[in-house]
Structure 1
């Protein structure tokens, strides 16, 4: 992930240059859920993961999403209505079987190419424009520490999470 530049300065006539080391082949994946319930504060549940899987997979597998949903169900203590984008991992047969076997889980798919309807996209925007901007990460661990710090800060600001839902034009039903 190349973070945006939020601010920069230099003497007139001099273009600022940030030198960084060569490209890393390591990858960091993050899965997140924004959780809304009428009368309660909004919540953010997330899991970052380095690409250190024994099977060589570089992104979340359907089993990782299954585990995240199971933990979310335990933390929230009630049924979950999940609104998902069309990421291929969300559509696998294993995930469909998992969803069908859980009476506490209802899933709706967003239309294709509709990031403007996904509140989690607002979380990524806040993270990129805030904690990840103007930083040249030295190691993957440095990046994951910064991501965790930013997401923890967002977790404690339910007004920011509410704003991500408001930005979609959607509302929580009673």
Structure 2
């Protein structure tokens, strides 16, 4: 159950207890909130009934991309960066922003691209390993086992 759903469930339980005639202190203990919250809920309930204590939809500016556009972006990003003409198969905020604009026609700021990736798409920050292509792990192990002790020992 999400946090808003849990809060609404507490308020609905409080209404049931209001209707049973329970005291504010008893209701506060029963639902796990402070007495001031119960007093506020009781005033709202007396003025507007149960609907006054129901959860309201989120306010604020609506997102620039609707759910269908987000899924279009998801499938475009799943094809990889090279499929969109980038040299390396590595995503940056600028590259993702360019793909979003290309497939949806919506221009997003870097911050909005970050929120899209981490929030709505569920991606996380990944950093590539900095490792030489020519790296030879067996030669490194040999050097650490044989050469390093000799060098450390000194002349």
Question: What is the TM-score when the length of structure 2 is the normalising length?
Answer: 0.21
Larger relative CO (CA 8 A, sep 6+): 1 or 2?
Answer: 1
Which structure is larger by alpha-carbon Rg, 1 or 2?
Answer: 2
Q: Higher helix share goes to which structure?
A: 2
Q: Higher strand share goes to which structure?
A: 1
Question: What is the TM-score when the length of structure 1 is the normalising length?
Answer: 0.19
